Amino acid sequence: MTEQTRYPGTPRWVKWLGGATILVAAAIIVLHLTGHGFGHGQGHGMTTPGEPQS
Amino acid sequence: MTFTRGPRNLTLTAHIVTSLGFLGAVGCFLALAIDGLAGSAPATLRAIYLSLDLLTWLMIVPLCFAAVITGVISALGTPWGLFRHYWVLAKLLLMILTTAVLMLHTRPIAYMAHMAAMPGFSPGDFVRQRVQLVVASGAAVVVLLGATILSVYKPKGMTRYGWRKSANASAVQDIGR
């Protein structure tokens, strides 16, 4: 394999973007798993529309 | 398979219109969600949250899926391909992530619209959900702006698959000479 046909590797911007995306996704997952994320409706008994409120 | 000029321009136009329409619709959502968070008059908030639900189902969800579908068709029909260049792959992954998060957020949006339609709607009880709508739509605007920037600047960089394909095509051309 000559120098011209060798794969030059992943560009730096892809590594930065991928790293940032993984960090944000991990933060969202951890927040949701620990109950600090949005969408839990703590204290408000979030129910599906039409579902009777307790 | 690559498209000829006519279908290529048609799918590209459809992709640009749906993508930017999606960004605009999410921007409108963000503006209304901010107004919903800042406001306090129940009648105004009722109108805002009912509008957000309509905006979601009539504009945002259809435009989101249309943008993804036209983007995939456009990529597959041009030499860019879907997995050959990092900017195309990054856009695809960002759009898949956005679609998944959007579909997850249709529930709190429907919930707020449902509660806003109730006679005894008290906005103060739903601060958490109101903040959620602002944060989620703000994040979506940032991601969609990122996808737009990728489309315009097309940063260099081929995937290993794209590099192999390109090398194979060059080898075939060399043999043909």
Q: What is the ipTM of this complex?
A: 0.73
Q: Which of residues 19-38 of A touch B (CB under 8 A)?
A: 21, 25, 38
Residue pLDDT, tens place only, B15-47: 999 999 999 999 999 999 999 999 878 889 999
Average pLDDT over chain B reads 92
Nearest to B134 by CA among B43, B33, B65: B33
With an 8 Å Cβ cutoff, are B129 and A11 in contact? no
In degrees rounded to 5, what are phi and psi of residue B85?
-115, 140
| Residue B121, pLDDT score | 84
Report whether A47 contacts B129 (CB < 8 A).
no
- A-chain residues near B86 (CB < 8 A): 10-11, 13-14
Please, which residues have CB within 8 angstroms of residue B148's CB and are 6 or more apart in sequence? B19, B20, B23
> Of A5, A44, A47, which has the smallest distance from its Cβ to B126's Cβ?
A44
pTM: 0.84
| Residue A53, pLDDT score | 47
With an 8 Å Cβ cutoff, are A38 and B114 in contact? no
Residue pLDDT, tens place only, B92-143: 999 998 999 899 889 989 999 999 998 888 878 888 889 989 999 999 999 9
